[in-house]
Chains A and B, each alone.
Chain A
Amino acid sequence: MSANLLKAKPKIINIGLAQFADTIRQSGAEAIHLDWTPPAQGDLTLNKILLELQDDYDQIEQANSQAIEKVLAAQPVWIDVGPALEMIPGFSENTVLHAGPPISWDQMCGPMKGGVIGGLIYEGRARNKEEALALAGSGRIEFAPNHHFGAVGPMSGIITASMPVIVVENQENGNRAYSNFNSENNRKALSFGAFDQDIQDILNWQRDVMAPMLGAAIRKIGGLDLKGIMARALQMGDECHNRHIASTSLLLKMLLPTLARLDLPGSRLAEFGDYLMQNDWFFLNFSMAACKAAMDAAHGFPHSTLVTAMARNGAQAGIRVSGLGEQWFTAPAPPVRGIMFPPFGEEDANPDMGDSTITETFGLGAFAMAAAPALVQLIGGKVADAIGFTKSMRQITMVENGSFSIPNLDFAGTPTGIDLRAVVETGIHPKINTGIAHRRPGYGIAGAGITEIPLSCFQEALKEFAKHHSARS
C-alpha cells in the first residue's frame, strides 16, 4: 500500500511555487520543478472539460488502447492498381474527390479549382478551362473528400473516375485505402493546381503506360509490404511525408526484377525509369495510402480520443477523431512557413492544403523529423531542431511506434497516436511538413515548408467529445 511514501526521503515533483522545491533540495531530498503553465492556456471551459473527462478516464484509456493497438498492428500492403471507378467502392462517373474536409466548388481555393479543371479535361468531360468551370459549377459533379472514400491525395488531392489508384490493404484489419499516383516530377503538377497540356500528357501516360505496368507487376509479386519500406526509409533519412528519396529507391529496387520480367513492349520500362529520375516524391502517395489504411482501422472506437485524420483543403484544415464518427472539426487553413521556389514569393503562397498530413496522424512526417534532419533546412533550422520537433510531439501522442525507430534518437520509436486531450491540454500544435501550392490555378508548386494544424480544431472536437460523452454516460 502507501508505505513506499515513508520508507525513505520522498522524491518529489513540484508543480506550482518554485520555493517549495528549493526547500526540499535544501533538506537533502531530490525534487524536480515542473515548468507549469495553466492547461489549455487557462481557458476555463476547456479546463472544466478536461477535469470532467477524468470521471471517465478508465473508459477513455481503454478505448484509446484498443484504437492505438489497431494503429500499431496495421499491416499495409500494396496489392493492386486500377481506375478509381473500379477500385474505390461507391465511386461514380461524376465523382470528383478532393483533399481535406468537405468543401463546395465555389469555396475551393485556386489550386484546388485548377486540379478540378485538369481532372475534368483529363476525363474528357471538358475541352478547356471554360468548359470545365461551367461543368464544375453546374451541380452535376459530385464533389467529396477523399477521406469519405478511404482515399487520400496530396495537395489538391483530385481523383477522378479513370485515374489509376494505388490499392493498399491493411491485412491485419481487412480494410483498404487508396491514393492517386504522384506527378510531382514537374513543378506544374495537377496536385498543385496545374492543368495544361503537359499535365494532361503525364496523366495520360500514367493511365496508359505506367498503371498497367505497375498493376501487372504488383499482382505478379502478390503484394508489397509498405511498412517495411517505410521503416527502412526512416533509417535512411526520409520521414515519409516530404522526403521520399530512400523509399522511392527501395520501391524501385523491389519492383525492378518483376518489371523486367514482364516483357514490356518498346521503351516502357525506360520511360518509367525516366519518370522516377525526375520524381523524388513518387513514394509519397504509397506512404499516404499506407497511413490511411492504418488510421481507418483505428476509427470508430466510441470512447476514443485518438485523432484518426488531419487534412486540409486549402481553405480549411480539419480533423476527425476515432470516437466522434464522421464529423470534421475545422478551422481556417494556416499559412506555411518555408522557402518559396523562384520566381515565387510569399504573396503567391496558398494556405495549407492536402491529405498528406495522414502521415503525421500516423506518427511520421514532421513527427519523425528527427529521422530526416535534412528537411529542417526548409525553415533554416538545425539538426537539434529536427530532434526537438520529434521530442515535442511525444507530449501529444499516446505511444512510440516500435516499428519505426529513429537512429538519431537512440532508435526510439516515432511518437504515434495524437490524443485530442493532450493537444488541448498542452496547447502543442501537431507539426506538419508540407508543400506550398501557388494560390492561383494553373501555376503549380510554389514552395515547401512546415506548418501546424490549428488548435481550435482540437478544442472544438474536445467540446463535442465531452458533449457526446456526458450524453452517453
Chain B
Amino acid sequence: MKGDGTLIQQAFLRKNSYQDSVKLMQLTEKMTQLPGVTRAFAVMGTENNKATLTRAGFKPALLEGAGPNDILFAVETGTKEEGLRVWEEYQRALEQETKKDEGKAQVSAASLKSASSLLSGANLSIISVPGQYAAYEAYKALREGLHVHIFSDNVSLEDEIKLKKLGRQKGLLVMGPDCGTSILSGVPICFANSVRRGSIGIVGASGTGIQEVSVLIDRLGAGVSQAIGVGGRDLQDGVGGITSIMALKLLDWDPQTEVIVFLSKLPGKETLGEIRKHLAQLSKPVVVFFLGYNPNEQKGVGQRAKTLEEAAHLAVSLSKKESGPLAFQRDFAALFPRETLDAVRPGQYLRGLYSGGTLAGEAYYLAKKHLQKIEYNPLAPSGHAIFDLGDDQFTQGRPHPMLDPQLRSERLLQEWADPQVAVILLDVVLGFGSSPEASSSLAAAIEQARSKYGGEKIVLASLCGTDRDPQPRQKEQELLQKAGVFVLPSNAAAADAALYLCQTERSNL
C-alpha cells in the first residue's frame, strides 16, 4: 500500500473472448478477497457496462479501447503490482472454469439451426444471453418452431410485444423476458425447485412467486403438474397478458392439471378485464394472487389469496377436494423467548434484506398494513425498510444475490452495525440455479457481524426450498438455526413474525 493511502485504478483487456456475465462476475467476487483489492469488476466491454464502471468511479480513459466482444477487467488496489497480480489470477481462474465446462462433455452446437438438427424433437429454447441480444435469439428460436423461455431482462417492451404476438400466431409460448422460473413436466427451468409432481398447475408473472408457491404445495403434500412463467411485464397493458392467457388455456386443457394457480402483480387496467374474462371461462378451479392488491376489493373469479402461502393452501385444499387451513400456524408468543421479545425496543427498526423480488414485495405489502411507515428500496433508509437486493440499483456490475451471496452478506454487516436496527428479515431461495452457499454464507456473515459489532439482532428467515433440492432444506435450516436465525415456514409467516416483533402491542397476526 502506498503511504498516502491512494488507490490505484487499472483496467485490463482480453480481446475477442466472449464470456457470460454470470461466470465473469462470480469469479470476480472471489478476486475481491485477494490482498490489496478494494474493488474488482469484470464485464464485457459494451457501452452500457463501461457507463456502469464510470458511474462506479473508474476513469473513462481507462476503459477506452474495450469492445463488446472483449473482457474488460477493472480493478482498484493499493499498489500497481497487486492489480496486475489480481488480473493474472483472474485469467487463471477463468481458464480453469472454461476447461471445466469443456470437460463436461456436453454436446454443444454453433448455431440454433445446427442445434435443432442435433436434437431431434427440440421444442423449447432457454435464452439467457445479455438483454440487448436476447430478442434476436428469441426470434430465431420462434422461427425454428421452438417455444422460448427468456431469462434475460433488459429486453424492450416493444420487442416483448412483437415476440409474443409472433409466438401467439405460431402457437408458441414466449415465457419472459425476465422469466426466472418454470417447471415443465417436472423439468426445472432456470431457477426452480425440485417439487413433487401432481395436479396443480401454476401460471406466474414472478419467478420467486412460482418458487414459493410450488415449494409450499410440495410441503403440504400435493404436487405441481406444470408451472409456466410468463415474465414480469406480461400483464401490463400493451402486452395484454398474451402469454398468461395462452398458458391458462393450456393448463385448462392439460389432462394432468386439476387446479390452476395464477400469480401476478396487479394487471394493467385493460388487461385485468381481459384476464377476468379468461379466468371465468376456465373449466377448472382457479386460485388467484395479485401482489399488493387487497382481495376484498378484488371483484372477479376464482379463489382470491392474500399471500403466496394462502394461494398454496387454497390450491392444495381444492386439489384434495376438502377444506383445510389457509395458512401455517402463527403462534409467535410461543416461538420467541421472553428475552428476544424484550430485546426490541420502541423506535427500533425492521430491515428486510431480500434476494427474491416478489418475496420482498409480499413482505412489504404485509408490513404496510401493520406499520405506520415502511420504505421499499430507499437509498438511505430512515425507518423500517424492505430491500430487494436483486434490483438493478444494487446489482450494478455484481452478481444477483440469488447467484452469489456476497452482496447480501455485505449489506447484512452494514445493517448490523446500525444500532437502530433490531430485526433483520431474510429470504433464502434454494433450488436449481441458486447459490449452493446461500445459508452457509449468511450464517458466516452473522457470526462475523456478531464478533465485529457485538450486540444482538433478531434474524428471521424463510427457506424457499425442498429436501430434494441441491441444497436440502433441512440441512440449510439447521445451518441457519445454529447461527441463531429463526426459521419460519413461509415468507408470509416470516414477515408476520417480524411485524409481530416490531409492533408495540403484540398480538398474533
Asked whether A and B interact, the reply is: yes
- A binding-site residues for B, Cβ under 8 Å: 1-39, 41-44, 47, 50-51, 54-55, 57, 395, 426
B125 and A13 contacting across the interface, CB-CB below 8 Å: yes
A38 and B115 contacting across the interface, CB-CB below 8 Å: no
Pull 29 A–B residue pairs with CB atoms less than 8 Å apart, ordered by A: A5-B184, A6-B185, A6-B254, A9-B185, A10-B124, A10-B185, A11-B124, A12-B125, A13-B119, A15-B112, A17-B20, A18-B106, A20-B126, A20-B189, A23-B190, A23-B432, A25-B106, A27-B432, A32-B118, A32-B122, A37-B69, A38-B18, A38-B133, A41-B16, A41-B67, A42-B46, A43-B68, A44-B47, A395-B111
Residue with the greatest number of chain A CB neighbours at <10 A, chosen from B123, B126, B135: B126
The answer to whether A16 and B187 touch (CB under 8 A), given A38-B68, A38-B69, A44-B47, is no
- Selected interface stretch from B28-36, B143-151, B205-213, B445-453: B143-151
Q: A9-B184, A12-B119 are known contacts; what are 5 more A-B pairs with Cβ within 8 Å?
A: A10-B187, A17-B20, A30-B119, A34-B110, A51-B139
A13 and B185 contacting across the interface, CB-CB below 8 Å: no
The answer to whether A16 and B126 touch (CB under 8 A), given A34-B108, A42-B44, A55-B162, is yes
CA of A135 to CA of B250 in the docked complex: distance in angstroms? 78
CA of A22 to CA of B433 in the docked complex: distance in angstroms? 10
Chain B residues in 8 Å Cβ range of A41: 16, 67-69
Tell me the smallest distance from the CB of A65 to a CB of chain B, in Å: 14
B226 and A6 contacting across the interface, CB-CB below 8 Å: yes
B187 and A33 contacting across the interface, CB-CB below 8 Å: no
A2 and B151 contacting across the interface, CB-CB below 8 Å: no
B18 and A34 contacting across the interface, CB-CB below 8 Å: no
B122 and A34 contacting across the interface, CB-CB below 8 Å: no
Chain B 33-76 per-residue mask, 1 if CB under 8 angstroms from chain A, else 0: 00000000000101100000000000000000001110000000
Query: When the two chains form the complex, which single residue of B104, B126, B130, B139 contacts A12, counting CB atoms closer than 8 Å?
Result: B126
Within 8 A of A (CB), among B127-145: 127-130, 132-133, 135-137, 139, 141, 143
Does B188 make an interface contact (CB < 8 A)? Answer: yes
Query: When the two chains form the complex, which single residue of A7, A20, A44, A55 contacts B128, counting CB atoms closer than 8 Å?
Result: A20
A17 and B128 contacting across the interface, CB-CB below 8 Å: yes
The interface size of chain B toward A, counting residues with CB under 8 Å, comes to: 68
Chain A residues in 8 Å Cβ range of B5: none
Query: When the two chains form the complex, which single residue of A17, A33, A36, A39 contacts B107, counting CB atoms closer than 8 Å?
Result: A33
Query: When the two chains form the complex, which single residue of B22, B124, B129, B226 contacts A36, counting CB atoms closer than 8 Å?
Result: B129
Tell me the smallest distance from the CB of A384 to a CB of chain B, in Å: 16
Does B422 make an interface contact (CB < 8 A)? Answer: no
Chain B residues in 8 Å Cβ range of A43: 68
Tell me the smallest distance from the CB of A423 to a CB of chain B, in Å: 13
Dominant secondary structure at the B interface: mixed
Does B302 make an interface contact (CB < 8 A)? Answer: no
Tell me the smallest distance from the CB of B128 to a CB of chain A, in Å: 3
CA of A465 to CA of B149 in the docked complex: distance in angstroms? 31
B115 and A13 contacting across the interface, CB-CB below 8 Å: yes
Does B419 make an interface contact (CB < 8 A)? Answer: no
Does B454 make an interface contact (CB < 8 A)? Answer: no
Chain B residues in 8 Å Cβ range of A38: 18, 44, 68-69, 129-130, 133
B184 and A35 contacting across the interface, CB-CB below 8 Å: no
Nearest residue, chain B, Cβ from A18:
B101
Nearest residue, chain B, Cβ from A33:
B108
- Across the A-B interface, the 4 shortest Cβ-Cβ residue pairs: A42-B68, A16-B128, A10-B124, A23-B432
A5 and B69 contacting across the interface, CB-CB below 8 Å: no
Does B238 make an interface contact (CB < 8 A)? Answer: no
Chain A residues in 8 Å Cβ range of B130: 38
A33 and B152 contacting across the interface, CB-CB below 8 Å: no
Query: When the two chains form the complex, which single residue of A2, A16, A37 contacts B171, counting CB atoms closer than 8 Å?
Result: A2
Chain B residues in 8 Å Cβ range of A31: 119
Tell me the smallest distance from the CB of A123 to a CB of chain B, in Å: 50
CA of A38 to CA of B185 in the docked complex: distance in angstroms? 31
Chain B residues in 8 Å Cβ range of A30: 119
B67 and A15 contacting across the interface, CB-CB below 8 Å: no
CA of A37 to CA of B69 in the docked complex: distance in angstroms? 8
A15 and B137 contacting across the interface, CB-CB below 8 Å: yes
Tell me the smallest distance from the CB of A56 to a CB of chain B, in Å: 12
CA of A38 to CA of B68 in the docked complex: distance in angstroms? 8
The answer to whether A32 and B109 touch (CB under 8 A), given A12-B125, A13-B124, is yes
Chain A residues in 8 Å Cβ range of B113: 395
Does B420 make an interface contact (CB < 8 A)? Answer: no
Chain A residues in 8 Å Cβ range of B253: 3
Chain A residues in 8 Å Cβ range of B246: 2
Does B437 make an interface contact (CB < 8 A)? Answer: no
Does B441 make an interface contact (CB < 8 A)? Answer: no
The answer to whether A4 and B123 touch (CB under 8 A), given A15-B128, A50-B136, is yes
Tell me the smallest distance from the CB of B109 to a CB of chain A, in Å: 6
A34 and B104 contacting across the interface, CB-CB below 8 Å: no
Chain B residues in 8 Å Cβ range of A32: 106-109, 115, 118-119, 122
CA of A434 to CA of B118 in the docked complex: distance in angstroms? 34
Query: When the two chains form the complex, which single residue of A17, A27, A42, A51 contacts B186, counting CB atoms closer than 8 Å?
Result: A27
A33 and B106 contacting across the interface, CB-CB below 8 Å: yes
Tell me the smallest distance from the CB of B284 to a CB of chain A, in Å: 14
Does B480 make an interface contact (CB < 8 A)? Answer: no
CA of A359 to CA of B136 in the docked complex: distance in angstroms? 32
CA of A11 to CA of B149 in the docked complex: distance in angstroms? 12
Tell me the smallest distance from the CB of A43 to a CB of chain B, in Å: 7
A20 and B151 contacting across the interface, CB-CB below 8 Å: yes
The answer to whether A9 and B132 touch (CB under 8 A), given A2-B172, A4-B123, A42-B46, is no
Does B325 make an interface contact (CB < 8 A)? Answer: no
CA of A13 to CA of B136 in the docked complex: distance in angstroms? 15
Tell me the smallest distance from the CB of A416 to a CB of chain B, in Å: 15
B122 and A13 contacting across the interface, CB-CB below 8 Å: yes
Within 8 A of A (CB), among B213-256: 226, 246, 250, 253-254, 256
A5 and B143 contacting across the interface, CB-CB below 8 Å: no
Tell me the smallest distance from the CB of B94 to a CB of chain A, in Å: 14
The answer to whether A5 and B108 touch (CB under 8 A), given A38-B69, A47-B132, A47-B133, is no
B109 and A34 contacting across the interface, CB-CB below 8 Å: yes
